[in-house]
Amino acid sequence: MSNFETIRLEVEDGIATLTLNRPDKLNAFNTQMMQEMIAAFDQTDADDSVRVVIVTGAGRAFCAGADLSAGGATFDYSARGGEDKAARTIEGVQRDGGGLLTLRIYDSLKPVIAAVNGAAVGVGVTMQLAMDIRMASTDARYGFVFSRRGINPEACSSWFLPRLVGVQTALEWCYSGRVFPAQEAHDRGLVRSLHAPEDLLPAARALAREIADNTAPVSIALTRQLIWRMAGASHPMEAHIADSRGIQARGAMPDAKEGVMSFLEKRLPQYPDKVSTDLPDIWDQWSAPKFR
């Protein structure tokens, strides 16, 4: 386990579980949690033993949104000072912490599964949008409550949310700011599956196990980035070029031989290539993402 204060990061048999860990505050999001979550994704990317990351919450909430302990100054960076002075800026504007986190998750080289155990409101739901698969407890609740707090959606959710649920649903949820049940999130495509509270983490781990036991880590890293990056491509030719670079590179690597031979020999594969050393550079500046 890593030495964090607002989260826990535990790795077992190739699966990293990142638990938001401020249960007495319903796992409310603050600058320290943002920084620790980013550091945790740096660790999971660098650790070749990690195949999948599961994100969940301690206690009865997933994340109840931003920590509102600063009262009316909660979202006023100039009034708060202190913890926000070190935050990065872009084009002279201070960047929101949720966006810094979702951009880091977007760049993850490992699949990310959200196991949403309870309330997921504000940044508690927008942070999930950059995760790959969202599974929820029947006790979970969601809310894009920004219009009810006098602010606008953050964490790059204006990019992610319409791609997941469509413009109409995204606008309805953000216009109303209402809190809605997990069943509605599932019905409208935000959530992959619903589970009894006691079954949620076992189901997330079973899905993670299927990925970890049967797939090539480098192929998964490439696949994740291809799917996410091509969501914003202007033409399918961009995907064709990136796909072709990947196939050309991967086809000559040991993993491709192992994938074919293990299939023909009817045995579990043992993929030798590692994400840390063998990731093909199918985009310029792979190791330094342009927009982070």
Tell me: the pLDDT tens digits for 25-54?
999 999 999 999 999 999 999 999 999 999
Q: Residue 287 — very low, low, confident or very high, per pLDDT cuts 50/70/90?
A: very low
The yes-or-no verdict on residue 274 having pLDDT over 50 is yes
* Residue 265: per-residue pLDDT: 97
Range 7-212 has CATH code 3.90.226.10:
yes
Average pLDDT of the residues in 49-65: 97
Q: How far apart are CA 275 and CA 120, in angstroms?
A: 32
* Residue 92: per-residue pLDDT: 82
pTM of the entire structure? Answer: 0.93
Question: Is the distance from CB of 122 to CB of 65 less than 8 angstroms?
Answer: yes
* Residue 213: per-residue pLDDT: 95
In 3D space, the residue among 74, 58, 61 whose CA is nearest the CA of residue 125 turns out to be: 61
Q: How far apart are CA 194 and CA 15, in angstroms?
A: 21
Q: How far apart are CA 99 and CA 150, in angstroms?
A: 18
Tell me: the pLDDT tens digits for 162-196?
999 999 999 999 999 999 999 999 999 999 999 99
In 3D space, the residue among 224, 205, 200, 16 whose CA is nearest the CA of residue 111 turns out to be: 224
The yes-or-no verdict on residue 2 having pLDDT over 80 is no
* Residue 75: per-residue pLDDT: 67
* Residue 149: per-residue pLDDT: 93
Query: What are the boundaries of each domain within the chain?
Result: 7-212, 215-291
Q: How far apart are CA 122 and CA 88, in angstroms?
A: 21
Tell me: the pLDDT tens digits for 10-21?
999 999 999 999
In 3D space, the residue among 136, 133, 161, 132 whose CA is nearest the CA of residue 146 turns out to be: 161
* Both structure tokens of 35: 């920084």
Tell me: the pLDDT tens digits for 229-259?
999 999 999 999 999 999 999 999 999 999 9
Buried (b) or exposed (e) across 158-171, using 16+ Cβ within 10 A? Answer: ebbbeebbeeebbe
* Residue 288: per-residue pLDDT: 43
Question: Strand, helix or coil at 56?
Answer: strand
Query: In this structure, which long-range contacts are made by residues 229-236, counting pairs with CB atoms below 8 Å and at least 24 apart in sequence?
Result: 229/283, 231/163, 232/159
* Both structure tokens of 147: 């219009």
Distance of CA 264 to the CA centre of its chain: 35
Tell me: the pLDDT tens digits for 64-117?
998 777 666 566 666 655 555 455 788 888 899 999 999 999 999 999 999 999
